[in-house]
Structure 1
Amino acid sequence: MTRYSRITGTGSYLPPRRLTNDDLVAELATRGIETSNDWIVERTGIRARHFAAPDVTASDLGAEAARRAIEAAGCTARDIDLIIVATSTPDMVFPSAACILQDKIGAHGCPAFDVQAVCSGFVYALTVADAMIRSGSARRALVVGAEVFSRILDFNDRTTCVLFGDGAGAVVLEASDEPGLLASDLHADGRHVGILCVPGHVSGGQVLGDPLLKMDGQAVFKLAVGVLEKAAHATLAKAGLTEADIDWLIPHQANIRIMQGTAKKLKLPLDKLVVTVDQHGNTSAASIPLALDHAVRAGQIQRGQHLMLEGVGGGFTWGAVLLKW
């Protein structure tokens, strides 16, 4: 009998501190940085984001999202036999955020590791978990995207600091006799490392280079729409389906113009696009599971529907996953 994987529970968590564009504009003004709500909304679609408190880590956010996903799946942390955390902002150099999260939720003993593919991280992690379940290496996986991007923002650069937020999303992926995750398509092209990166590292107890986020927005935009369309079509082809079979497009929540551009290239009406970027900002690897959980709990997503998840991020990485809910 062929072994598949299906999502049985979703969860998400946002830190309490919510900053509207006006809140952020006021804070930036104290630094002599001028911007406006209209400028941010017009270029990105973002109206608010959440920032974690200084003592709150990615694993803290991820653990809360994980608990909610586990509850939704009707199981316990002891039932989890694989943990994968997608993050670019781990708690420390090592051990992994996954190991720290594992301890916080009480799921001791199972394999736990991080995946680093920046904003594509959740798509990568979900694909790895599916492969491990299909191979028989795991039966019930916890896949988490968790980020505290506020820690790596340059608040003297208005083109980037207004874009990002903190948060976490999680799913429980279980072995199934019926197909759930139908197909995926992953890629990377290291020639584009410089267009989105944090070019710093720790050496001898000091930070070498620049530990703050750098982005060439125009270059990212140009690459993103094209590669996301190709990844979606490749994934559909692997599953033997077409654009018309997509019930919901759940893309990485980076920029409303990129998201709408991708939907149009896939000939999807915009009412099939799940949008949370306006309230969450860009939460990197957390954005797709955050948006998925929002749509599930809002009753938008119904069993039997096809969901296209896709992300693009620094590396340059990109990929897509097609699910039957």
Structure 2
Amino acid sequence: MYTPAITGSGVFTPSEAITNAELVEAFNAYVDIYNAEHAAEIAAGDVPAKEYSSVEFIEKASGIEQRYVIDKKGILDPHVMHPLLRQRSDDEPSLMAEMALDAAKKALEQAGKTAADVDAVICAASNLERAYPAVAIEIQQLLHVNGFAFDMNVACSSATFGIQAAADMIRSGSIRSALVVNPEICSAHLEWRDRDCHFIFGDVATAVLIERAEDADGPYFEIKSTRCATEFSNNIRNNNGFLRRSRPDVVADRRDMQFMQNGRKVFKEVLPMVSDHIANHMAAEGIEASDLKRLWLHQANKSMNDFIGKKVLGRTPEPGEQPNILQDYANTSSAGSIIAFSKYSKDIKEGDIGLICSFGAGYSVGSVIVQKHG
């Protein structure tokens, strides 16, 4: 048996950002257009009028202040309201692979390693750019990695599930190292015309290099334990898929073909599931709340994270104990907890214990207990 360790991490951040004020201005312009076009139906009571959004509403509901996106022009055009992404030829690198490549190179650089040191690539993300060939294999080729690669999808928990898969392979001795990459183009599956969710998502890509601890060339985080759980729920979903074109009953503007959630049910059902999952994982490993130096949580909603942090620690987390990046990046699905880890782990000292946790559609929850060495 070998000891798996996170030896490097990297984040790709798009160059374009949308503030809440910009988003609200575009959304409210769309509302004016929609209400004018449907004035007769609205007056007859057949169609409800759309309501304005506001900066205050967004920040109170989520804690989000801005989000990074691949394309802001299309999103902010009230006649478009979605990113305008160029269709690349089959001979070009895909957008998702290109983003992952940037994050992966940063993770390798931090670890002091090259692609020659990597045995496997796992592309773990909520919405993969295509069904096949696997995006992971394309990333493998772009990096010139020998070995193998595969895609996996566990929605917002994809990163932690990917880390567990890599860690288990390293423990068994089947590989020495793996890159777990999480490219998330969330702007492409968000319904920007829905007031209840138009502010939630952003785009990003993250990566972690996981190796045998004995191969680490510098400081590393030993992966002491991982735990994953799933429980089916339809309360967060996206019904779009390849079967859509085979169904004559499906119309192009069906709302459930984009991101959908029953927010109140999600809040009520996911919070106890995640809190109990973390508590049980810690108890199984003999770790007390006082032993935790850092919680790197999934970045979906500030209120949810505040609740979980308080439940796990038994008190309100001190500044820095549970870092949030939500205000800057918004919800980036599987990448959120890894952004928090990458940006807020350098100050962790020898022997300190932390926990990475992600949760989301499925329902799914994954937790990774790590300890700093070096």
> Does the pair score TM above 0.5?
yes
Secondary structure of 1:40 counterpart: helix
Structure 1 counterpart of 2:299, one-letter code:
Q
Sequence identity (%):
27
Secondary structure of 2:225 counterpart: strand
Secondary structure of 2:196 counterpart: helix
Cα deviations by residue, 1:211-269 (Å, 9 ceiling, x for unpaired): 31111111111122211111111221232211111100000000000000001001252
Candidates 70, 88, 99, aligned match of 1:52 = 70
- CA distance in structure 2 between the partners assigned to 1:302 and 1:49 by the alignment: 31
**Looking at CA atoms only, which structure, 1 or 2, has the larger radius of gyration?**
2
Distance apart, 1:205 and its partner CA: 4.7
**1:101 has 2:139 as partner:** yes
Distance apart, 1:12 and its partner CA: 0.5
Secondary structure of 2:130 counterpart: coil
Equivalent positions of 1:62-211 (< 5 A) are 62-107=100-145, 109-177=146-214, 180-190=222-232, 192=233, 194-203=234-243, 205=245, 208=250, 210-211=256-257
- CA distance in structure 1 between the partners assigned to 2:164 and 2:348 by the alignment: 21
Say if 1:135 and 1:215 are closer, same or farther in 2 by CA, change over 3 A: same
Indicate the residue corresponding to 1:295 in structure 2: 344
Distance apart, 1:30 and its partner CA: 2.4
Query: What is the CA RMSD across the aligned residues, in angstroms?
Result: 1.8
Structure 1 counterpart of 2:197, one-letter code:
T
Distance apart, 1:311 and its partner CA: 1.3
How many residues are paired up?
Answer: 319
Secondary structure of 1:85 counterpart: strand
Distance apart, 1:101 and its partner CA: 1.4
Indicate the residue corresponding to 1:322 in structure 2: 369
Does the Cα contact within 8 Å between 1:84 and 1:112 map onto a contact in 2? yes
- CA distance in structure 1 between the partners assigned to 2:211 and 2:360 by the alignment: 27
Cα deviations by residue, 1:182-224 (Å, 9 ceiling, x for unpaired): 112211111x1x1000012223856757431111111111122
Candidates 277, 302, 321, aligned match of 2:326 = 277
Structure 1 counterpart of 2:347, one-letter code:
Q
Indicate the residue corresponding to 2:26 in structure 1: 27
Distance apart, 1:60 and its partner CA: 1.9
Indicate the residue corresponding to 1:258 in structure 2: 304
Secondary structure of 2:299 counterpart: coil
Distance apart, 1:270 and its partner CA: 3.6
Structure 1 counterpart of 2:61, one-letter code:
R
Give the TM-score of the pair, scaled to structure 2.
0.81
**1:13 has 2:12 as partner:** yes
Structure 2 counterpart of 1:278, one-letter code:
Q
Indicate the residue corresponding to 2:269 in structure 1: 223
Does the Cα contact within 8 Å between 2:294 and 2:322 map onto a contact in 1? yes
Distance apart, 1:290 and its partner CA: 1.2
Structure 2 residue runs of 5 or longer lacking an equivalent are 32-50, 72-84, 87-93, 215-219
Distance apart, 1:180 and its partner CA: 1.1
Distance apart, 1:280 and its partner CA: 0.5
